[in-house]
Structure 1
Amino acid sequence: MPGGLAAQTVSTVAAPAVYTVEPGDTVSSIAQRFGISTASVLALNGLSWKSTIFPGQVLVLTTAPVKTTGTPAPTTSGGRYSIVKGDTLSAIAARFGVSTQSILDANGLTWTSIVYPGQTIVIPGRVPAAVPPPAPVVGLAADAPLDPPASTTPIAGAAAAEASAPPSVAATVATMAIAERPVLPVEPRRSAPAPSAPSGGSGARPPSGGTITPLTAEMREHATTIIQVGRQLGVPEYGIVIALATAMQESSLRNLSWGDRDSVGLFQQRPSSGWGTAADLQVPSHAARLFYEGRTGYTRGLLDIPGWQNMTLTRAAQAVQISAYPDYYAKWEASAWAWYFELT
C-alpha cells in the first residue's frame, strides 16, 4: 500500500525440548529462533546473563519430555545414572525428560554443586535416550556471537588478541584505550572432581561447590609452570592454588604481551610498579617466581605477606596484586584447587 509500512513476519519453529549449540549461536538468537524468551532459556539451564555457552553444549528449551525412538539406554540399578565426561545436569535432565531441579532435589545438590565423571546420581523415574555427550569446546558469553575456534585457545571476544599474536597486533592493542581493549573470556560452565581438603591454615580448604573451568593446552602449560615453580620454592599447596587463581583472573592463564596500562604476562605485572622489565615479565617461570617471592626492594610476593596462610584466597591474592577489583579472585578458587589436583 503506498505510503504504508510493509508488515514483516518473523518466522519461528516450535521449540524442541533440547537444542545443541552451534558455532555462531547466542542464547538470545536461539530464543528468537524458537519464539521463546531469552530469560526462560537462561532459567531452564541455570544460566545468568553473563554465563557461557559452547558449540556442542545441549540446552533445555522446554519442560516437555524428550521424545525418543528405539530402545532407550537403561539406567543403572535403582534408577541411577553414572555421569560421563561431557555431561551436564541440564542435559541429563533433558535426556530423561525431567526437570533439572528435580535431579538437584533428588540428589541433595544445588545449582553450584560439583559433579564429575563416574559419579552416580538418582534419576526420578525416567530412562535416557542414547544421546552422545557434547564435545567440550570453549566459547564466549551468552550473548556474544560464537565463531568456530581455530584452536583450543580461549576466544576473548570478536577482536581477540592472543599472547602468540604477531607483534603488530599486540602493539595495536597496547595503544588502544582501556575501555576499547578486548575483554578476557568469562567463566565457562564445567564440572570436575571436588578435591579433598588438604592440611594447612584455616584459609587452606577447597570450597565445597562451584563450577570448574576446563584447561586448554595453553592454560595447562602455564598452570604446570606455576605449580612447578611453587614446588621448587617449597610453597605450600594453598599458596600454589592462590597463584593459579590469580593468574586465571589476571590473564586467563595466558602469557599476554599487553594489558591494563603497562601490565603484561601471566600475572599482569607492571614494569612501572617495579616488577621488572616487560620482557622478563613475559617469561612464565620468572613471573611465577615473582608472584611468590616478589622483587627485593621493589615489590612484595605472596611469601612476604604476614599470615597469608590463614587469609582467604582473594585477600591473599589482593595483598600481592593490589588490584582495582580485589574480590574477583575468589570466583576461581574451586577451579584452582581442581587444576592443582589434576596436575599433581
Structure 2
Amino acid sequence: MRRLPSPTLPARATVIWPAAVVGTIALALTGESTAHATPPAPLAALPPAPATLGQIPVLASAADAPATHTVEPGDTVWDIAQRYGLDVAALQAANGLAADSVIRPGQVLILGGAAPQPATPAPEPAQVTYEVTAGDTVSAIASAHGISTDAVLSANGLTRDSIIYPGEVLRIPSAAAPGPASAGPALAPGLDAEQSENARLIIRIGRELGVSDRGILIALGTAMQESWLRNLDWGDRDSLGLFQQRPSTGWGTPEQILDRERSIRVFYGGPADPNGSDTRGLLDITGWEDLPYADAAQAVQISAYPDRYAQWEQPATTWLAVLG
C-alpha cells in the first residue's frame, strides 16, 4: 500500500531461534521495518470372553495381557486398551502418547511390566515457524496464529522479559486439537474460523464483481501476506484492515478501511470501486491477468517486500477450492 510491510507469515520450516516479549516491540536492526482398514484378526492366544455383536474381544483381566502389542491396521489406542482390559490413559502414559497421538501399523506398544521394546516412532509433525519483522510483538504473533502468548513463549524458551528481534524465527506450536465436527461453516486448511470467514468474504465479493479465479487468488494471497487474513486495527504506520490500506495515501478513512466489504471492493477496484479513481485496484491495472502472481499483488500494494506474495499462490488455490 505504498508503505512498508506488515508482519509476514513464512512457509513451514524448522529453524528455531531464541528470543521475544509480550508487549515489547521487536527492535529494528536495520533501517527497514522490516488428515479403515480391515479390523485386526483376533489373537489366537487370547482366551474366549463374553462378547456381543459389534464388541471388541476383551481379556478377562489386565493381568492376562501380554507384555506388548504390535499395532495392526485399524487399531486405535482405545480399541487396544479395551481388548486387554487396560486404562486408556495408563496405556498412553506407558508409551509416551498424547491424547491426539497417532499410532501406526507395526508400532509396538508396551502393555504391562515387561521391559520396553523398540517402537516404530511416529514421524515428527511439521513445525510451523514465524520470522519476526520490525514492530512485531509475541502477543500479536500468537493472536495471529490463534494461540496463547504463553504457548509461544513456552515453545521458544522465552519469558515475558525476553526481546525478539527482526529476522529471528519463532516456533509456533499447534493450536488445540479441534473438537467434534459441528454444523458450522467449513474451515480451509491452515486457516482458523476468523481467517476462513474473511477468505469466504473475499471470494464472495470477487464473484459478485465478476472477478476471475486468478484475481480472487491474488486477493486471498495478498490479504494473507498483509494481515494474516485478519481485519487488523493496527499495522505499519497507519496501515489497517485486511489489506493494510493506509488512510494517509487515500484508501479511505480508518472506519472505511476497517469495513471489510468496502476494503475488499477497493482492493479489486474497477468500475465498482468505492474510492473511484482515487486509488488503483487490481482490475485497474492494465494486463494484470498476464502478470506473475506476486507482481500483480505488488502492483496494487507497492510493498517493500514484493517477492513475499508468491508464497501464498498455492495455499490460496486450496482455500478457493474449499471455500469457493
Per the normalisation by structure 1, the TM-score is 0.46
Larger RCO, structures 1/2 (Cα 8 Å, 6+ apart): 2
Q: Scaled by the length of structure 2, what TM-score is found?
A: 0.49
Larger radius of gyration: 2
